[in-house]
Amino acid sequence: MVVRVESKTYLNYFNGEWATSASGSTIESVNPANTQEIVGRVQNSTKEDLDQAVAAAKQAKDGWRKLTGAARGQYLYALADALEENLGAIAETATREMGKTLAEMKGETARGVAILRYYAGEGMRKTGDVIPSTDDGALMFTTRTPLGVVGVITPWNFPVAIPIWKIAPALIYGNTVVVKPATDTAVTFAKIVEAFEQAKLPKGVLNFVTGSGSVIGQGLADHPDVNGITFTGSNNVGKQIGQAALARGAKYQLEMGGKNPVIVAEDADIDLAVEATISGAFRSTGQKCTATSRVIVHQDVYETFRDKLIAKTKQITIGNGLSEEHWMGPSANKGQYETVLSYIQKGLDEGATLLYGGQPVKGKNDEVGYFVEPTIFEDVRSGMTIAQEEIFGPVIALMKVETFEEGLQTANDVEYGLSASVFTTNIQKMLTFVNDMEAGLVRVNAESAGVELQAPFGGMKQSSSHSREQGEAAKEFFTAIKTVFVKG
């Protein structure tokens, strides 16, 4: 029997009002930890709905742009307070909707609060520089101007943090926003918007539309009144978004996949490396773009590392994430669950050795959902599919190397370049890794997943469009430099 945990149907939000889709149809959001539970419903929106949202953002953009940075910052402080006040309810909804443990979701939502407050403060920072002119009777300086209307397209794996780390800088730098969250976590974002209403943003500054990526996501990329697109998601979709934006001259920012390595040198602290590998690979069920996917271990410590890794992995409990005893939750949806199982089968078919896991299971309390055991392969060669393609699940590929140099070469032998980490006590190895690793985020003696909110984030190679999110670097995307020459 289907249990209606939340009977509410969530509407779109534009021009300060909630609106039913022109389609008249809705999409159910199902709990991946218990597929009999419906968490809520969202609108299956049309291009007509999107046009109304973009029109609202366009109408609001001049008024919002003309506010001082300090005034916009006060609104962001109010948004932060509203999110903090509703932190527990939003985190629990996200856990039910996409499976991440409640402890992780509370931490992620708290991060969203911190991001809003960080960017609220940015409203009081400088927007340009004075530049010497060759004309002694002139003043020359730079300032920054917002793009206008920004389309925000976000994934389901960080349903609070990623939308907010795009929305917050977009707003503080003077843009208005239309958000299209992943359908799998649209209920969570609807609850965020409900909380945000407490901040009383001017109408049209923040707008929210749910629906399919092919209609709403692609529609944002194609829309002539959307001046910039910021996207996080798969490589295939990201490239489509980028091509559409480029074709009409819109600015775009893409954060896409990763195949993130950990290198364990012969002089590493093995216990530290094991703990960080497990956290990086299996937290959030491996559903992070920075998750550890390949673990490249020096032959001298390989067996010790492998055995400790297996022993620790066996202690992982799997469940619905709402209890503290559940260390790992389910895959976020049926499609991702089937993808993970298909990659496990590819690993077996291509000759990798399955050391542990690899099976679908029930949760700790016999929940029926999209649960897959944490999985460890060895005898993985660099050319194998599980060593090259992003799995986005709890799967580790162990790779043995003879030298540190071979390990670094193996780490770079993929099309992605998002994050990477090394475990070593040797300063020269650390510096070599920092200099030669082809990734936008490199970490030493720490897991591959995670970056602080005030630091730039983004990848190299096929992992991004070579722009950066978060921190002061966000200013580069959400604004354009204007050079001013004043002659007295």
What was the pLDDT predicted at 450? Answer: 84
Band of residue 368 on the pLDDT scale cut at 50, 70, 90: confident
Taking residues 283-306, report their average pLDDT: 97
Active-site positions read 255
- The residue among 109, 117, 110, 112 whose CA lies nearest residue 75 is 117
What was the pLDDT predicted at 388? Answer: 98
Q: What distance lies between CA 283 and its chain's CA centroid?
A: 14
Domains delineated in the chain: 3-256+464-487 (3.40.605.10), 260-452 (3.40.309.10)
Residue 198 CB burial class (10 angstroms; 0-12, 13-18, ≥19): middle
Does residue 419 sit in helix, strand or coil? strand
- Residues forming a β-bridge with 40: 29
DSSP track, 279-299? HHHHGGGG-STT-EEEEEEET
**Mean pLDDT score of the chain, rounded to an integer?**
96
The rounded distance, in Å, linking the Cα atoms of 69 and 127 is 10
The gap between the terminal CA atoms of the chain, to the nearest Å, is 78
What was the pLDDT predicted at 1? Answer: 41
- The residue among 116, 242, 225, 144 whose CA lies nearest residue 178 is 225
The rounded distance, in Å, linking the Cα atoms of 131 and 356 is 61
Taking residues 245-264, report their average pLDDT: 97
Tokens of residue 383, six digits:
């050319």
Strands 260-264 and 419-423: parallel
What was the pLDDT predicted at 488? Answer: 82
Q: What distance lies between CA 119 and its chain's CA centroid?
A: 18
Does residue 152 sit in helix, strand or coil? strand
DSSP track, 239-276? HHHHHHHHHTT-EEEEE----EEEEE-TTS-HHHHHHH
Does residue 90 sit in helix, strand or coil? helix
Question: How many CB atoms within 10 Å of residue 315?
Answer: 8
Taking residues 413-439, report their average pLDDT: 98
Taking residues 165-186, report their average pLDDT: 98
Band of residue 2 on the pLDDT scale cut at 50, 70, 90: very low
| Confidence (pTM) | 0.96
Cβ–Cβ under 8 Å, residues 475 and 173 = yes
> What values do phi and psi take at 291, rounded to 5?
-65, 145
78 CB contacts (<8 Å, ≥6 apart)? 198, 199, 200
Residue 124 CB burial class (10 angstroms; 0-12, 13-18, ≥19): exposed
The rounded distance, in Å, linking the Cα atoms of 432 and 435 is 5
pLDDT digits (tens, 9 = 90+) for 207-251: 999 999 999 999 999 999 999 999 999 999 999 999 999 999 999
Is the pLDDT assigned to residue 6 strictly greater than 90? no
What's the number of CA atoms in the CB half-sphere (13 Å) around residue 366? 0
Cβ–Cβ under 8 Å, residues 386 and 283 = no
CA 132-136-140 angle, 5° bins: 40
- The residue among 363, 381, 382, 379 whose CA lies nearest residue 371 is 363
Longest dimension (CA), the chain: 80
Please state, for a pLDDT cut of 70, what percent of the chain lies above it.
98
Taking residues 314-321, report their average pLDDT: 95
DSSP-H helix ranges across 290-439: 302-313, 334-349, 385-388, 404-411, 427-436
Taking residues 377-395, report their average pLDDT: 98
